[in-house]
Amino acid sequence: MHFLPNRVARENTGASNRSHWYSRPGRWLVALLAGPALLLAGCEGSGGTEAGAVNLGIADRAWAPGHEDVGWCGETCIQMALAYYGREETQTAINAAAGSPTDITEDDMDRALRTLGVAYEAWDAANSDVGHFIGWVKAHVNSGHPVICGTKYYPDEAPEWYVDHFALAVGYDDASLILNTQANCDGQIAVSDAQLASQSDGYAFANRYQRYFGRAITGVR
């Protein structure tokens, strides 16, 4: 996805103004101190045993090797969702289903899903209420449907975009969503509803355009 090349570590690439936020030393300490996001390493098997909690048990995955420069987050989210329904596809095949773009963006997602024969429900793009969006995601997860969500990542390095990254919503509780952000980023984490509805540092749905991207994966044909 397009935000990741802006964050390639300077010490690894020599680029003058590109740095992967997840490659910076001490990123786990920063995440732990941030408060809204709780790291949940290994929680994918918890099964949602807490009251008011659901966990679909979908383990996070990494991008296909060789695509770290662009970040195949869309491809990986589709791959995880398909595997949940018992179908394995390579990320290369998923990218080809979208028309072989450099990486799948919000403009390519529906084509990829349709080509792959995926049944899905799209979030109503005319609805600008972030609270409704979070509730819609949770309702689908509660029904057993993983949801591909477009996220921002703050501080905002691409203010012209309303989607920086794709994450797969795989669980929730009363106050947070569990997101698979991919192993190349932060893995599986819980992000509070308050954080998702804000523009505070970290993952969020809120953006200056009040546009939200969601595709609830309801099955495969």
pLDDT digits (tens, 9 = 90+) for 137-153: 999 999 999 999 999 99
More confident residue, 26 or 205: 205
More confident residue, 127 or 35: 127
Q: Is a pLDDT exceeding 80 seen at residue 49?
A: no
- Give percent of the chain above pLDDT 90: 75
> DSSP assignment of the chain, as one string?
-TTGGGB--HHHH--SS-B-GGGSTTHHHHHHHHSSEEE-TTGGGS-S-STT-EE-------PPTT-TTT--HHHHHHHHHHHHTT----HHHHHHHTTS-SS--TTTHHHHHHHTTEEEEE--TT---HHHHHHHHHHHHHTT--EEEEEEEETTS-TT-S-SEEEEEEEEETTEEEEE--TTTT-EEEEEHHHHTS-SSEEES--TT----EEEEEEE-
pLDDT at 13: 28
Confidence of residue 34 (pLDDT cuts 50, 70, 90): very low
pLDDT at 30: 30
Confidence of residue 1 (pLDDT cuts 50, 70, 90): low
What is the average pLDDT across 67-82?
95
pLDDT at 100: 97
* Domains of the chain in sequence order: 36-220 (3.90.70.10)
| 19-28, 138-147, 159-168, 209-218: the lowest-pLDDT one | 19-28
More confident residue, 66 or 29: 66
Q: Is a pLDDT exceeding 60 seen at residue 62?
A: yes
pLDDT at 221: 87
